[in-house]
Amino acid sequence: MNVAQRHKIILTELQKDGHVKVSDLSERLGVSSVTIRKDLTALENKKMLFRNHGGVSLFCSLISDRHIDEKEKIMVDEKLRIAEAATRLLERNDRIIIASGTTVLAFANKINFSEPMTVITSSVKVSLALCYRPNIEVIQLGGAMRRNSASVIGPEAEIFLAELSCNKLFISIDGLDVDFGLTTSNIGEAHLNQVMMQAAQKVIVLTDSSKFGKRGFGKICNLNQVHQIITDTNAPANTVQMIRDKGIEVMLA
């Protein structure tokens, strides 16, 4: 098997699972791990994949900061299934935080819960989706408006959250990398998400499968700071298993 043939098989395996280990490729191709690492370096230099600890993922460029109205039109069915699954986690008298993003917005729109609950959110669109529900007390965080996400960021929101203790945080992300962690495209939003995590007993990530193997500009946290991830059934099986091996619950919708 020549170099070109090995490269083709490596990329095919990546397309199937989104992430593969060096040891698995070595066994699959019948060559040494040294040879595999040389192959991976060559493919990474061509920007065809992204190397991380012990393996590789599909090429992971930084995510661009797109407007929420544009992102609402992407992976719509998957986001609706994720949102529906997330609503089943709600309980009477919940005090939850909902961050910004199109998947948590889909979750807010799907909430059909008659029991009393309190929602604290940075997202103006989430507030508008819930403000007419008589059983839901909505607390809109203040701060500087970030137009691309129609949400607030900044010290005003962070100071307010520091005085709260909530039982659940529902958060969307722009990127999930097994080694690097969870990311978003805006540094200010990443920092606010960190403060939200400190104010919540349980962190629940709502993300569609297109975010796997991607990185945004601002890091939110490492994976081990997350309790549960709800994603769609197209999420790469290899990556899902790696996350579960870390003790994180993954629900496929």
Collect all residues with Cβ–Cβ distance below 8 Å to 89 and sequence separation of at least 6. 168, 204
What CATH architecture is 3-58? Orthogonal Bundle (1.10)
Alpha-carbon gap, residue 235 to 210, rounded angstroms: 8
* pTM of the predicted structure, to 2 decimals: 0.80
Collapsed DSSP state (helix, strand, coil) of residue 59:
coil
Residues of the chain with CATH 3.40.50.1360: 68-252
What CATH architecture is 68-252? 3-Layer(aba) Sandwich (3.40)
Query: What pLDDT score does 246 carry?
Result: 94
Query: What pLDDT score does 58 carry?
Result: 65
Residue labelled with tokens 């989104």: 18
Alpha-carbon gap, residue 68 to 210, rounded angstroms: 16
pLDDT average per 10 residues of sequence, the chain (253 residues):
88 77 89 91 82 68 66 88 97 97 96 95 97 96 92 96 96 91 93 98 96 88 97 91 95 98
Q: What angle do CA 160, 164, 167 make, to 5 degrees?
A: 135
Query: What pLDDT score does 139 carry?
Result: 98
Residues of the chain with CATH 1.10.10.10: 3-58
Kindly provide the b/e burial profile for residues 75-110, where b requires at least 16 CB atoms within 10 angstroms of the residue's own CB. Answer: beebbbbbbebbeebbeeebbbbbbbbbbbbbbbeb
Alpha-carbon gap, residue 75 to 90, rounded angstroms: 24
Collapsed DSSP state (helix, strand, coil) of residue 63:
coil
Query: What pLDDT score does 65 carry?
Result: 65
Residue closest to 236 by CA, chosen among 7, 15, 56, 2: 15
Alpha helices in the chain (DSSP H): 3-17, 22-29, 33-45, 68-71, 76-87, 102-110, 124-130, 155-161, 187-198, 237-245
